[in-house]
Amino acid sequence: LAVSGDFTRTSGFRDATTLRAGGAVRIHGISKSFGSLKVLDGIDLNLPAGSVTAILGPSGSGKSTLLRAINHLERVDGGFISVDGDLVGYEQKGDVLYELKEKDILKRRADIGMVFQSFNLFPHLTVLENLIEAPIQVRGVSREEAIQLAQELLARVGLSDKINAYPRQLSGGQQQRVAIARALALRPKVLLFDEPTSALDPELVGEVLDVIKELARTGTTLVIVTHEIGFAREVADTVVFMDGGHILEAGSPARIFNGAEHPRTREFLAKVL
Ligand code: ADP
Ligand code: MG
Protein backbone atom coordinates (compact mmCIF):
# COMPACT_ATOMS: atom_id res chain seq x y z
CA LEU A 1 0.00 0.00 0.00
CA ALA A 2 1.24 3.46 -0.91
CA VAL A 3 0.14 6.85 0.27
CA SER A 4 -0.26 10.00 -1.81
CA GLY A 5 -0.41 13.72 -1.06
CA ASP A 6 0.79 15.14 2.23
CA PHE A 7 -0.52 12.09 3.98
CA THR A 8 1.99 11.22 6.66
CA ARG A 9 0.08 9.08 9.09
CA THR A 10 1.23 5.82 7.59
CA SER A 11 1.33 3.95 10.88
CA GLY A 12 -2.44 3.94 11.02
CA PHE A 13 -3.04 3.10 7.40
CA ARG A 14 -3.73 -0.59 7.87
CA ASP A 15 -6.31 0.31 10.44
CA ALA A 16 -7.80 2.72 7.94
CA THR A 17 -8.38 0.01 5.36
CA THR A 18 -10.01 -2.33 7.84
CA LEU A 19 -12.20 0.54 9.01
CA ARG A 20 -13.89 0.67 5.63
CA ALA A 21 -15.96 -2.42 6.30
CA GLY A 22 -18.85 -2.34 8.72
CA GLY A 23 -20.64 0.24 10.83
CA ALA A 24 -22.08 3.51 9.71
CA VAL A 25 -19.56 5.61 11.62
CA ARG A 26 -16.23 4.21 12.78
CA ILE A 27 -13.75 6.34 14.62
CA HIS A 28 -10.28 5.05 15.23
CA GLY A 29 -7.72 6.78 17.39
CA ILE A 30 -8.42 10.34 16.35
CA SER A 31 -6.60 13.24 17.90
CA LYS A 32 -6.82 16.99 17.41
CA SER A 33 -4.96 19.91 18.95
CA PHE A 34 -5.47 23.64 18.76
CA GLY A 35 -2.00 25.00 19.37
CA SER A 36 -0.78 23.29 22.52
CA LEU A 37 -4.33 22.37 23.63
CA LYS A 38 -5.14 18.72 22.95
CA VAL A 39 -8.88 18.71 22.36
CA LEU A 40 -9.32 15.12 21.14
CA ASP A 41 -6.92 12.54 22.45
CA GLY A 42 -7.27 9.04 21.05
CA ILE A 43 -11.02 8.74 20.45
CA ASP A 44 -12.33 5.31 19.40
CA LEU A 45 -16.00 4.78 18.66
CA ASN A 46 -18.01 2.40 16.52
CA LEU A 47 -21.56 3.41 15.68
CA PRO A 48 -23.56 0.77 13.80
CA ALA A 49 -25.95 1.79 11.04
CA GLY A 50 -29.28 2.86 12.53
CA SER A 51 -27.88 3.41 16.01
CA VAL A 52 -28.57 6.41 18.23
CA THR A 53 -25.63 7.70 20.24
CA ALA A 54 -25.86 10.43 22.87
CA ILE A 55 -22.65 12.27 23.74
CA LEU A 56 -22.46 13.88 27.15
CA GLY A 57 -19.73 15.79 28.85
CA PRO A 58 -18.77 19.10 30.41
CA SER A 59 -18.23 22.23 28.35
CA GLY A 60 -14.86 22.16 26.59
CA SER A 61 -14.53 18.36 26.66
CA GLY A 62 -14.31 18.12 22.85
CA LYS A 63 -17.88 17.12 21.93
CA SER A 64 -18.37 19.70 19.18
CA THR A 65 -14.88 19.12 17.81
CA LEU A 66 -15.66 15.40 17.55
CA LEU A 67 -18.87 16.07 15.59
CA ARG A 68 -17.05 18.56 13.38
CA ALA A 69 -14.35 15.98 12.69
CA ILE A 70 -16.96 13.42 11.57
CA ASN A 71 -18.28 16.06 9.18
CA HIS A 72 -14.77 17.11 8.07
CA LEU A 73 -15.37 20.65 9.26
CA GLU A 74 -12.28 20.00 11.37
CA ARG A 75 -9.24 18.17 10.04
CA VAL A 76 -7.87 15.73 12.61
CA ASP A 77 -4.14 15.44 13.36
CA GLY A 78 -4.16 11.67 13.63
CA GLY A 79 -6.43 8.67 13.33
CA PHE A 80 -9.24 7.88 10.95
CA ILE A 81 -12.99 8.20 10.62
CA SER A 82 -15.17 6.35 8.14
CA VAL A 83 -18.79 7.07 7.36
CA ASP A 84 -20.69 4.31 5.62
CA GLY A 85 -17.42 2.84 4.38
CA ASP A 86 -15.94 6.10 3.07
CA LEU A 87 -12.86 7.39 4.87
CA VAL A 88 -13.45 10.99 5.88
CA GLY A 89 -11.03 13.19 3.91
CA TYR A 90 -9.57 10.40 1.77
CA GLU A 91 -10.30 8.30 -1.24
CA GLN A 92 -8.75 4.92 -1.85
CA LYS A 93 -7.91 3.98 -5.45
CA GLY A 94 -6.32 0.59 -5.69
CA ASP A 95 -3.59 0.51 -3.12
CA VAL A 96 -3.25 4.28 -2.77
CA LEU A 97 -4.96 6.59 -0.33
CA TYR A 98 -5.52 10.08 -1.78
CA GLU A 99 -6.33 13.16 0.22
CA LEU A 100 -9.62 14.63 -1.05
CA LYS A 101 -9.75 18.03 -2.70
CA GLU A 102 -12.02 20.69 -1.24
CA LYS A 103 -14.80 20.16 -3.78
CA ASP A 104 -14.87 16.42 -3.10
CA ILE A 105 -14.91 17.10 0.64
CA LEU A 106 -18.01 19.27 0.08
CA LYS A 107 -19.67 16.47 -1.89
CA ARG A 108 -18.96 13.94 0.85
CA ARG A 109 -20.12 16.34 3.53
CA ALA A 110 -23.58 16.26 1.97
CA ASP A 111 -23.85 12.65 3.17
CA ILE A 112 -23.59 13.84 6.76
CA GLY A 113 -26.32 16.11 8.05
CA MET A 114 -25.58 18.52 10.87
CA VAL A 115 -27.99 20.43 13.06
CA PHE A 116 -26.57 23.17 15.25
CA GLN A 117 -27.68 24.79 18.47
CA SER A 118 -28.37 28.06 16.64
CA PHE A 119 -30.60 26.72 13.79
CA ASN A 120 -28.53 28.50 11.08
CA LEU A 121 -31.40 28.87 8.60
CA PHE A 122 -30.89 31.30 5.73
CA PRO A 123 -32.81 34.35 7.05
CA HIS A 124 -33.56 35.83 3.63
CA LEU A 125 -35.10 32.61 2.27
CA THR A 126 -38.52 31.12 2.96
CA VAL A 127 -38.86 27.74 4.62
CA LEU A 128 -39.37 26.08 1.23
CA GLU A 129 -36.35 27.85 -0.28
CA ASN A 130 -34.25 26.84 2.73
CA LEU A 131 -35.19 23.21 2.08
CA ILE A 132 -34.68 23.02 -1.70
CA GLU A 133 -31.47 25.06 -2.02
CA ALA A 134 -28.95 22.33 -1.17
CA PRO A 135 -30.66 19.39 -2.92
CA ILE A 136 -30.74 21.41 -6.15
CA GLN A 137 -27.23 22.90 -5.79
CA VAL A 138 -25.37 19.96 -4.24
CA ARG A 139 -27.31 16.88 -5.37
CA GLY A 140 -28.48 18.24 -8.70
CA VAL A 141 -32.10 17.16 -8.21
CA SER A 142 -34.81 18.92 -10.19
CA ARG A 143 -36.74 21.79 -8.62
CA GLU A 144 -39.98 19.78 -8.80
CA GLU A 145 -38.42 16.81 -7.03
CA ALA A 146 -36.83 19.06 -4.39
CA ILE A 147 -40.18 20.75 -3.72
CA GLN A 148 -41.96 17.42 -3.36
CA LEU A 149 -39.35 16.17 -0.88
CA ALA A 150 -39.53 19.47 1.03
CA GLN A 151 -43.30 19.08 1.34
CA GLU A 152 -42.92 15.52 2.65
CA LEU A 153 -40.29 16.59 5.16
CA LEU A 154 -42.29 19.56 6.41
CA ALA A 155 -45.24 17.22 6.98
CA ARG A 156 -42.93 14.93 8.91
CA VAL A 157 -41.81 17.72 11.26
CA GLY A 158 -45.37 19.09 11.51
CA LEU A 159 -44.80 22.38 9.70
CA SER A 160 -46.65 22.05 6.38
CA ASP A 161 -48.48 25.31 7.08
CA LYS A 162 -45.20 27.25 7.38
CA ILE A 163 -43.86 26.45 3.92
CA ASN A 164 -43.89 30.09 2.77
CA ALA A 165 -42.89 31.66 6.08
CA TYR A 166 -39.53 33.32 6.72
CA PRO A 167 -37.39 32.08 9.64
CA ARG A 168 -37.99 35.26 11.67
CA GLN A 169 -41.75 34.52 11.60
CA LEU A 170 -41.17 31.18 13.37
CA SER A 171 -40.54 30.27 16.99
CA GLY A 172 -37.17 28.82 17.92
CA GLY A 173 -38.66 25.34 18.12
CA GLN A 174 -40.21 25.69 14.67
CA GLN A 175 -36.94 27.02 13.24
CA GLN A 176 -35.06 24.04 14.64
CA ARG A 177 -37.64 21.64 13.15
CA VAL A 178 -37.11 23.34 9.78
CA ALA A 179 -33.35 22.97 10.26
CA ILE A 180 -33.82 19.24 10.86
CA ALA A 181 -36.00 18.96 7.74
CA ARG A 182 -33.35 20.85 5.79
CA ALA A 183 -30.65 18.43 6.93
CA LEU A 184 -32.87 15.48 5.93
CA ALA A 185 -33.47 17.00 2.48
CA LEU A 186 -29.98 15.87 1.47
CA ARG A 187 -30.89 12.30 2.44
CA PRO A 188 -27.85 12.02 4.72
CA LYS A 189 -26.42 8.69 5.80
CA VAL A 190 -25.80 10.07 9.26
CA LEU A 191 -27.30 13.00 11.15
CA LEU A 192 -25.28 14.88 13.77
CA PHE A 193 -26.91 17.14 16.36
CA ASP A 194 -24.86 19.57 18.41
CA GLU A 195 -26.96 20.56 21.45
CA PRO A 196 -30.07 21.00 19.28
CA THR A 197 -32.26 22.24 22.14
CA SER A 198 -29.80 24.31 24.17
CA ALA A 199 -30.87 27.62 22.62
CA LEU A 200 -34.59 27.00 23.06
CA ASP A 201 -37.01 28.24 25.68
CA PRO A 202 -37.91 25.29 27.93
CA GLU A 203 -41.46 24.99 26.59
CA LEU A 204 -40.13 24.51 23.03
CA VAL A 205 -37.64 21.75 23.81
CA GLY A 206 -40.20 18.93 23.70
CA GLU A 207 -41.39 19.51 20.13
CA VAL A 208 -37.81 19.31 18.81
CA LEU A 209 -36.97 16.20 20.86
CA ASP A 210 -40.17 14.56 19.55
CA VAL A 211 -38.98 15.06 15.96
CA ILE A 212 -35.59 13.55 16.82
CA LYS A 213 -37.28 10.60 18.57
CA GLU A 214 -39.30 9.96 15.43
CA LEU A 215 -36.08 9.91 13.37
CA ALA A 216 -34.60 7.44 15.83
CA ARG A 217 -37.59 5.14 15.37
CA THR A 218 -37.21 5.18 11.59
CA GLY A 219 -33.63 3.92 11.71
CA THR A 220 -31.62 7.02 10.83
CA THR A 221 -28.10 6.86 12.32
CA LEU A 222 -28.00 9.68 14.85
CA VAL A 223 -25.28 11.22 16.98
CA ILE A 224 -26.59 13.74 19.47
CA VAL A 225 -24.61 15.96 21.81
CA THR A 226 -27.12 16.84 24.49
CA HIS A 227 -27.63 17.70 28.13
CA GLU A 228 -31.18 16.28 28.02
CA ILE A 229 -30.63 13.26 30.22
CA GLY A 230 -34.22 12.01 30.12
CA PHE A 231 -34.18 12.12 26.35
CA ALA A 232 -30.83 10.31 26.15
CA ARG A 233 -32.11 7.63 28.52
CA GLU A 234 -35.21 7.06 26.42
CA VAL A 235 -33.79 7.28 22.90
CA ALA A 236 -30.08 6.42 22.86
CA ASP A 237 -28.69 2.93 22.29
CA THR A 238 -25.33 4.11 23.58
CA VAL A 239 -24.37 6.95 25.89
CA VAL A 240 -20.82 8.26 25.63
CA PHE A 241 -19.27 10.40 28.35
CA MET A 242 -16.40 12.67 27.28
CA ASP A 243 -14.00 14.63 29.41
CA GLY A 244 -10.76 16.37 28.47
CA GLY A 245 -10.71 14.99 24.92
CA HIS A 246 -11.16 11.38 26.09
CA ILE A 247 -14.10 9.02 26.17
CA LEU A 248 -14.16 8.13 29.83
CA GLU A 249 -16.90 5.56 29.42
CA ALA A 250 -19.60 4.42 27.02
CA GLY A 251 -22.46 2.01 27.44
CA SER A 252 -26.21 1.55 27.51
CA PRO A 253 -28.22 4.35 29.13
CA ALA A 254 -29.04 2.02 32.02
CA ARG A 255 -25.38 1.32 32.61
CA ILE A 256 -24.20 4.91 32.40
CA PHE A 257 -27.08 6.54 34.27
CA ASN A 258 -27.48 3.91 36.97
CA GLY A 259 -23.97 2.58 37.31
CA ALA A 260 -21.36 4.95 35.94
CA GLU A 261 -17.93 3.64 36.85
CA HIS A 262 -15.87 6.76 36.50
CA PRO A 263 -16.02 9.35 39.30
CA ARG A 264 -15.98 12.18 36.70
CA THR A 265 -19.08 10.73 35.02
CA ARG A 266 -20.89 10.42 38.35
CA GLU A 267 -19.90 13.96 39.30
CA PHE A 268 -21.17 15.31 35.95
CA LEU A 269 -24.45 13.40 36.13
CA ALA A 270 -25.05 14.56 39.68
CA LYS A 271 -24.95 18.14 38.37
CA VAL A 272 -27.24 17.72 35.36
CA LEU A 273 -29.76 15.12 36.63
P1 ADP B 1 -17.48 21.09 23.82
O2 ADP B 1 -18.34 21.05 22.58
O3 ADP B 1 -17.42 19.80 24.54
O4 ADP B 1 -17.89 22.21 24.74
P5 ADP B 1 -15.40 21.91 21.99
O6 ADP B 1 -15.14 20.74 21.12
O7 ADP B 1 -16.22 23.01 21.43
O8 ADP B 1 -15.99 21.40 23.37
O9 ADP B 1 -14.03 22.56 22.44
C10 ADP B 1 -13.03 21.84 23.09
C11 ADP B 1 -11.88 22.77 23.41
O12 ADP B 1 -11.28 23.20 22.19
C13 ADP B 1 -12.29 24.02 24.15
O14 ADP B 1 -11.29 24.32 25.06
C15 ADP B 1 -12.36 25.06 23.05
O16 ADP B 1 -12.11 26.33 23.55
C17 ADP B 1 -11.26 24.60 22.12
N18 ADP B 1 -11.51 24.97 20.71
C19 ADP B 1 -12.54 24.57 19.95
N20 ADP B 1 -12.46 25.05 18.69
C21 ADP B 1 -11.33 25.78 18.65
C22 ADP B 1 -10.65 26.55 17.63
N23 ADP B 1 -11.15 26.63 16.39
N24 ADP B 1 -9.50 27.18 17.97
C25 ADP B 1 -9.00 27.08 19.22
N26 ADP B 1 -9.56 26.38 20.21
C27 ADP B 1 -10.71 25.74 19.95
MG1 MG C 1 -19.99 22.13 22.03
- What is this model's ipTM? 0.98
pLDDT(4) > 60: no
Q: How far apart are the first and last CA of the chain?
A: 50
Burial of 161 (0-12, 13-18, 19+ CB in 10 A): exposed
Nearest atom, ligand 1, residue 57 CA:
3
Radius of gyration of the chain measured on its C-alpha atoms: 19
Nearest atom, ligand 1, residue 59 CA:
4
**In this structure, which residues have their CB less than 5 angstroms from ion ligand 2?**
63-64
**pLDDT in the model for residue 15:** 44
The confidence band for 220, taking pLDDT boundaries of 50, 70 and 90, is confident
Distance of CA 33 from the midpoint of ligand 1 (Å): 9
Q: For ligand 1, is residue 63 a contact (CB within 6 Å)?
A: yes
**pLDDT in the model for residue 14:** 41
**pLDDT in the model for residue 201:** 94
